[in-house]
């Protein structure tokens, strides 16, 4: 192992350029050694953003070399499994962008391969490190809400004209649609807070004319511990609802607006800057009961902690920041949601 962990990044679309490359470059102990992209515009952007990073045409070029200690898969969903498996078979630790795989069965195969080879494998569920989600987790843990009864979480967008690209393609292998995209975050967050799910009810639909994949969903999860999670996302939300509303038997917490780290990364800010992850006071959420509420400062967002966790996993044998087992469980919930939406009934899961 070199003094720095040399990272090979597969893909330089939104995931690669906005999230992975900047966070890798900002993490002590990591160096962005190479990026694979054949797109001329993306190659030019990469040269501007990271001039010292090698540009490769194909994944085969990356795997043919011995110049990488970590591979990050930020390519279209249909390629996640094959590329991750190739890295694991070569004994290279892997980070896979969400969704981990198009199916839970494929995800289990990847996890089994990683375990067999003894190679770290993690999934980039960066929104565990959203500041507002970290605030919810703190309030749940410290008892400010009392016993949590219902967790409401939504991630809406206003995209009336469908964008072109693989996320809009039909076919199970594409893992397209908003349920796999934003739903992967919402389901992961609810499982991370409240644990296993006993039952799933869902409504999944296509609202915009001509779309091939779902662009609207509501999912209700009944957790084994008794909490109910209500999760929403829509691409036709002309006005957004609350991002979080958490109801407890002592108080509720309500929060509007989205975590600002994605916009910060797009604007060129990086972890370590004085304002990184901080939210202005006028966007803080409220805690309490009707007529007796107070604002609660939003915890600092910390996307950088994911890759710090990967450094610790590779260098010191620490647990990976997001276990593939968690991603498998989330995919099982998403599959149950699709089944529920198709048959119009509640789907029971094995606890």
* DSSP symbols for 71-101: EEE-S-GGGHHHHHHHHHHTT--EEEESSS-
- 226: tokens are 């008794």
CB contact set of 272 (below 8 Å; sequence gap of 6+): 26, 304
Annotate 14-26 with DSSP letters as a single string: HIIIIIIHHHHHH
Q: Is 209 exposed, middle or buried (0-12, 13-18, 19+ CB in 10 A)?
A: exposed
User: What's the confidence (pLDDT) of residue 152?
Assistant: 98
User: What's the confidence (pLDDT) of residue 351?
Assistant: 63
Task: Specify the domain boundaries for CATH 3.40.50.720 within the chain.
Answer: 5-126+306-320
Class of domain 128-302+332-348: alpha beta
User: What's the confidence (pLDDT) of residue 166?
Assistant: 67
User: What's the confidence (pLDDT) of residue 170?
Assistant: 78
User: What's the confidence (pLDDT) of residue 176?
Assistant: 84
Q: How many residues does the chain have?
A: 351
Q: For the whole model, what pTM was predicted? A: 0.95
Strands 216-223 vs 197-205: parallel, antiparallel or unpaired: antiparallel
* Residue 304, preceding peptide bond in cis (omega within 30° of 0): no
- 155: tokens are 């991630």
Q: What is the dihedral of CA 64, 69, 70, 75, to 10 degrees?
A: -20
Task: Specify the domain boundaries for CATH 3.30.360.10 within the chain.
Answer: 128-302+332-348
Q: How far apart are CA 105 and CA 323, in angstroms?
A: 16
User: What's the confidence (pLDDT) of residue 175?
Assistant: 82
CB 155 within 8 A of CB 186: yes
In 3D, which of 255, 264, 303, 262 has the Cα closest to residue 283?
A: 255
CATH number of 5-126+306-320: 3.40.50.720
User: What's the confidence (pLDDT) of residue 162?
Assistant: 87
CB 269 within 8 A of CB 193: no
Q: Along the chain (351 residues), what's the average pLDDT of each consecutive run of 10 residues?
A: 89 96 97 97 96 97 95 96 98 97 97 98 98 98 98 96 78 86 97 98 95 95 98 96 97 97 96 94 97 97 98 98 98 98 95 63
Other C-beta atoms within 10 Å of 82: how many? 13
Spatial strand order of the sheet with 121-124 comes to 54-56, 30-36, 5-10, 70-73, 94-97, 121-124
In 3D, which of 22, 255, 241, 282 has the Cα closest to residue 131?
A: 255
């Amino acid at each position: 192992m070199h003094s720095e962990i040399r990272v090979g990044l597969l893909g330089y679309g939104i995931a690669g350029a906005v999230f992975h490359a900047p966070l890798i470059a900002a993490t002590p102990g990591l160096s962005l050694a190479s990026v694979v992209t054949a797109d001329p515009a993306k190659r030019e952007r990469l040269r501007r953003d990271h001039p010292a990073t090698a540009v490769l045409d194909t994944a085969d070029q990356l795997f043919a070399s011995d110049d990488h200690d970590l591979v990050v898969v930020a390519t279209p969903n249909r390629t996640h499994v094959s590329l991750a498996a190739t890295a694991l078979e070569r004994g290279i630790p892997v980070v896979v962008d969400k969704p981990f795989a198009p199916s839970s069965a494929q995800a289990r195969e990847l996890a089994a391969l990683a375990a067999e080879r003894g190679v770290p494998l993690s999934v980039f569920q960066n929104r565990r490190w959203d500041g507002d989600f970290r605030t919810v987790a703190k309030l749940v843990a410290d008892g400010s809400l009392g016993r949590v009864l219902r967790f409401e979480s939504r991630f809406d967008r206003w995209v009336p004209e469908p964008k072109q690209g693989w996320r809009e393609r039909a076919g199970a292998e594409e893992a397209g649609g908003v349920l796999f995209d934003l739903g992967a975050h919402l389901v992961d967050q609810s499982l991370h807070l409240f644990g296993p799910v006993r039952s799933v009810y869902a409504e999944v639909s296509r609202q915009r004319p001509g779309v091939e994949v779902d662009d609207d969903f509501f999912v209700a999860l009944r957790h084994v511990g008794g909490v109910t999670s209500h999760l929403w996302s829509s691409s036709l939300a002309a006005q957004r609802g609350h991002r979080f509303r958490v109801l407890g038997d002592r108080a509720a917490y309500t929060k509007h607006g989205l975590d600002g780290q994605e916009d910060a990364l797009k604007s060129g800010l990086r972890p370590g800057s004085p304002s990184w992850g901080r939210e202005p006071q006028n966007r803080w959420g409220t805690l309490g009961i009707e007529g007796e509420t107070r604002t609660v400062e939003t915890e600092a967002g910390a996307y950088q902690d994911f890759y710090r966790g990967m450094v610790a996993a590779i260098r010191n044998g620490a647990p990976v920041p997001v276990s593939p087992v968690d991603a498998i469980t989330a995919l099982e919930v998403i599959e149950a949601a699709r089944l529920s939406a198709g048959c119009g009934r509640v789907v029971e899961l094995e606890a």
